Amino acid sequence: MIRAVKGTRDILPPASAVWNHVESVARRIFRAYNYHEIRTPIFEETALFTRGVGEETDIVSKEMYTFEDRDGGSLTLRPENTAPVIRSYIEHRMDQLPGLQKLYYIGPMFRRERPQKGRYRQFFQIGAEAIGSESPAVDAEAIEMVVEILTASGLDGFGLLINSVGCPECRPVFIAALRERLKDVASTMCRDCQRRVETNPLRVLDCKVPEDQPIIETLPSILDYLNESCKVHFEAVKRYLDERNISYTVKPRLVRGLDYYTRTTFEIVHGSLGAQNSVLGGGRYDGLAESLGSKVRAPGIGFSIGEDRLVMTVEEKHAAVDRLSLFIAPIDESKFSDCALMAREIRRSGTRVELAAPGKLKKLLEQANKAGAVDAMLVFDDHYELKNMETGEQQTLTRQELVDKFTCKKL
């Protein structure tokens, strides 16, 4: 038997209904905030990620699916989608368009990491990018929007973590202090952290090894090294969140795992996911476009929701989101054509309907029960009966009364 490749899986009913629900909620809220969909290829030139994400990040150094194309070029299945969106922004001269460019995407990403709860090698992200402004107001609105998406999807009990990672002016001073402190403790940390001390000490703060966390908590705080403009920016972000009554926790060691972040970074975590408890992450990337070859400054901020993890945390609440509304059960063969016409009419209203083949009453009711139908319409030779499958209540209605009842229902 050929099985799905390790780290991938099939999304089957009824779980697929929850995925559709989450994506529908996201699209509705993106539209309300005037974001527009962008769809990028699932593979790009490898250089896009080595230059954009950072060669010393775990994603680039360990996790990417990279292969040689027939013409000798190096291609990579996208491990994240911010760099591809910025590549598209540059390539299509979207900087020439008026106003802030607000884009969203929904789709698969690929990383060869160790499969664990809510984490797969082909995984899905719901993300957004607001490109063309340095304003902290844009940061606050992006965070507000993602909180709206999570809440409307059915997630509660989550926590928002925020930080500022400074800018190219003040961050080198912090990195120098961090490297100096790490000289004394690096030998007691994991191998990856020992390597990062030399290559990119900021990545040490992103370490997830439990044994290293007490050491990381003793390291210098980047908030103590922010220059005046970065301090003002971060204070404004916090003030705008306070004005919106959005609760947050400032976490000075929150740096995220990608090199392109500047100033605001944030994560949302949820306790049901265990040690790897992040539902989404995001941040500002004011120099990314220039690093990818743009001649025009294009500051931006974005986030990506781990859709796999979000679905996993809300699917129990939405077990009935795709429930069958009506099971039409023709008891008499002569009424089947009429039942088919009724089913079509009711389906056009958006109500979910299953039309059974003619059969015996007991068998049809068993089918309705197994299908999880809310109601069963029993169509006899001379009358119609509607049975509530939960309460057992049954009433006799006319054909028109039945149609009117269900054409007003929406799934």
State how far the alpha carbon of 46 is from the alpha carbons of 88, 114, 270, 272, 274, in Å.
Answer: 15, 22, 33, 35, 32
Q: Are 310 and 279 in contact (CB under 8 A)?
A: yes
Instruction: Please tell me the predicted confidence (pLDDT) of residue 411.
Output: 40
Q: Residue 326: beta bridge partners?
A: 353, 375
Instruction: Please tell me the predicted confidence (pLDDT) of residue 212.
Output: 84
Q: And the tokens for 33? A: 């905030």
DSSP-derived 3-state class of residue 162: strand
Instruction: Please tell me the predicted confidence (pLDDT) of residue 175.
Output: 86
Considering the domain 15-170+226-314 in this protein, what is its CATH number? 3.30.930.10
- List the pLDDT tens digit at each of the 411 positions of the chain: 999 999 899 999 888 889 999 999 999 999 999 999 999 999 999 999 988 887 767 788 788 999 999 999 999 999 999 999 999 999 999 988 888 999 999 999 999 987 676 678 999 999 999 999 999 999 999 999 999 999 999 998 899 999 999 998 998 898 888 888 888 887 888 888 888 887 778 888 877 788 888 888 888 889 999 999 999 999 999 999 999 999 999 998 887 656 678 899 999 998 755 545 788 999 999 988 888 888 888 999 999 999 999 998 888 777 555 678 999 999 888 889 999 999 999 999 889 999 999 989 999 999 999 988 999 999 888 889 999 998 999 999 888 888 888 887 544
pTM: 0.85
List where CATH 3.30.930.10 sits in the chain.
15-170+226-314
- Rounded Cα distance between 248 and 262, Å, is 19
Longest distance between any two alpha carbons in the chain, whole Å = 89
Of 329, 374, 335, 378, the closest CA to residue 351 belongs to: 374
Q: Where are the beta strands (DSSP E) in 292-406?
A: 300-306, 326-330, 353-355, 375-379, 384-388, 394-397
- Rounded Cα distance between 12 and 51, Å, is 37
Burial profile 358-389: b = 16 or more Cβ within 10 angstroms, e = fewer? eeeeeebbebbeeeebbbbbbbeeeebbbbeb
Q: And the tokens for 179? A: 């490297």
List where CATH 3.40.50.800 sits in the chain.
326-407
Spelled out in words, what is the top-level CATH class assigned to the domain 326-407? alpha beta
Q: Are 389 and 374 in contact (CB under 8 A)?
A: yes
CA 199 to chain centre: 30
Q: Are 288 and 86 in contact (CB under 8 A)?
A: yes
Q: Are 245 and 275 in contact (CB under 8 A)?
A: no
Of 157, 165, 207, 163, the closest CA to residue 182 belongs to: 207
